[in-house]
């Protein structure tokens, strides 16, 4: 359902109006709205609060009943917050989460309207709201994923079929821009499938350093903290066997053509002069023979610098180590003939997880701050100095999984 000029005027007193039956809406580009899957976009210049609800019944009013309802309130508590929660009113009169970001609140100037979107998708168990007219991760302002220890939340939202709009205590006027299926609001699009919860194929190669057992155990503990926290369902962990320092990132799907202009040996016998990944990897391995041969005496002592919920950043123990790092990276670039895609701040960063869905909402942000504080305390106490040695060529199968060159490919035998 879409409209260029579909205004709804609601009197005050928590008046409710049925907006759509998700089972009756058409599919859009193969994306089918249905029970438990819907999205609505609203534009308004209202200065009084309004509610968007996903309900299991079309019998109104839902307020004051036990009907399963997922409800968003924009401009709650005198326009100091926008919230999401279960029930009408909320269970225990408290939302699951809320945001105070200014663009997620009602306009302060009736001459300037604002556009908001709201969605629930039972397939990925995500409830979210955001600003502007196109739902995506970077304009999301509130997100909850109901895959946690409080399992009843997902069960309550399983049969949400109807979209209901309602006023607060005062009258409100809104324009319904669109009602349809929920789009994907995950962050690593084209790299991760949030429905199957698995990484998608992604190829590239880089020079990496592995961790010793002591420091690998520390990162595993940090991963366990993240996984056990309320934010765990929003993140994907890097497999422990693939945790590494990745300072020299040489090839990826977008930069592979850089090899094409450097010689015909890397061009596969296929239409359009497309390059074969195996040929690319073998060419890079051949070019890096000298830097990789020096691996046993390539030595980087690094200490802890800072951390967040996905990465640990290290720093050289002194100027001599810093010079060794810079010289080695320069030698790899010169030998390979490829620029390093890792910017300086990323070269000494260990990635142990990545966000699949954005962490948005005051409660979620507070949990993240507490978690980062706990992670930093562990690393300050236990990291000490990690002595990195023996770089190797890693071939990436996804954005977080890699294999050493020797395990992934057996070099082609030369043509007699």
| pLDDT of the chain, 416 residues: tens digit per residue | 444 558 999 999 999 999 999 999 999 988 999 999 999 999 999 999 999 999 999 999 999 999 999 999 999 999 999 999 999 999 989 999 999 999 999 999 999 999 999 999 999 999 999 999 999 999 999 999 998 655 678 888 999 999 999 999 999 999 999 999 999 999 998 899 999 999 999 999 999 999 999 999 999 999 999 999 999 999 999 999 999 999 999 999 888 888 766 655 554 444 444 468 888 899 999 999 999 988 888 999 999 999 999 999 999 999 999 999 999 999 999 999 999 999 888 999 999 999 999 999 999 999 999 999 999 999 999 999 999 999 999 999 999 999 998 766 654 444 44
Q: How many CB atoms lie within 10 A of CB 409?
A: 16
Model confidence, pTM: 0.91
- The partner residues of 54 in beta bridges, in order of sequence, read 70, 163
Beta-strand relationship, 385-389 and 299-307: antiparallel
Question: Helix or strand or coil: residue 179?
Answer: strand
Determine whether 103 is exposed, middle or buried from the number of CB atoms within 10 Å of its CB (0-12, 13-18, 19+): middle
* Gap between the Cα atoms of 200 and 402, Å rounded: 13
Q: Cβ neighbours of residue 145 under 8 Å, at least 6 residues apart?
A: 124, 125, 126, 127, 233, 234, 357
* Gap between the Cα atoms of 166 and 64, Å rounded: 14
- For the chain, state the CA radius of gyration: 26
Q: Cβ neighbours of residue 241 under 8 Å, at least 6 residues apart?
A: none
Question: Helix or strand or coil: residue 228?
Answer: helix
List of domains in the chain: 7-180 (2.60.120.200), 192-408 (3.90.1140.10)
Closest CA to 131 of 169, 168, 185: 185
Determine whether 249 is exposed, middle or buried from the number of CB atoms within 10 Å of its CB (0-12, 13-18, 19+): buried
Helices (H), 63-162: 76-79, 152-156
């Amino acid at each position: 359902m879409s409209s260029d000029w579909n205004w709804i005027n609601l009197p005050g007193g928590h008046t409710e109006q049925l907006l759509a039956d998700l089972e009756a809406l058409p599919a859009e580009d193969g994306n089918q709205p249905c029970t438990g899957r819907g999205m609505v976009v609203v534009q308004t210049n209202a200065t009084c609060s309004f509610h968007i609800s996903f309900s299991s019944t079309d019998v109104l009013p839902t307020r004051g009943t036990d009907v399963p309802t997922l409800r968003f309130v924009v401009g709650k508590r005198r326009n100091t917050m926008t919230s999401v929660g279960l029930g009408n009113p909320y269970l225990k009169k408290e939302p699951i989460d809320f945001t105070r970001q200014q663009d997620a609140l009602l306009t302060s100037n009736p001459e300037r309207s604002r556009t908001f979107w709201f969605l629930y998708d039972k397939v990925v168990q995500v409830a979210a709201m955001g600003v502007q007219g196109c739902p995506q991760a970077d304009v999301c302002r509130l997100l909850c994923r109901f895959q946690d220890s409080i399992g009843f939340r997902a069960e309550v939202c399983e049969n949400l079929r109807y979209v209901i709009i309602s006023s607060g205590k005062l009258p409100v006027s809104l324009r319904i821009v669109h009602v349809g299926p929920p789009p994907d609001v995950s962050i690593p699009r084209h790299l991760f499938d949030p429905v199957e919860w698995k990484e998608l194929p992604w190829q590239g190669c880089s020079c990496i350093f592995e961790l010793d057992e002591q420091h690998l155990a520390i990162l595993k503990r940090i991963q366990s903290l993240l996984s056990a926290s309320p934010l765990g369902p929003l993140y994907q962990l890097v497999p422990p066997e693939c945790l590494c320092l990745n300072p020299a990132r040489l090839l990826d799907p977008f930069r592979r053509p850089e090899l094409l202009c450097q010689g015909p040996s890397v061009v596969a016998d296929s239409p359009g002069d497309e390059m074969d990944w195996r040929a690319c990897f073998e060419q890079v391995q051949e070019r890096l023979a000298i830097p990789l041969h020096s691996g046993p005496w390539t030595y980087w002592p690094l200490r802890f610098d800072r951390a967040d919920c996905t990465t640990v950043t290290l720093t050289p123990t002194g100027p001599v180590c810093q010079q060794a790092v810079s010289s080695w990276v320069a030698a790899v670039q010169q030998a390979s003939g490829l620029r390093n895609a890792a910017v300086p701040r990323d070269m000494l960063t260990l990635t142990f997880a990545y966000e699949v869905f954005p962490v948005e909402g005051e409660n979620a942000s507070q949990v993240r701050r507490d978690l980062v504080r706990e992670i930093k305390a562990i690393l300050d106490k236990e990291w000490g100095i990690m002595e990195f040695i023996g770089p190797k060529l890693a071939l990436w199968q996804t954005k977080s999984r890699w294999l050493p060159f020797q395990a992934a490919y057996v070099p082609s035998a030369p043509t007699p």
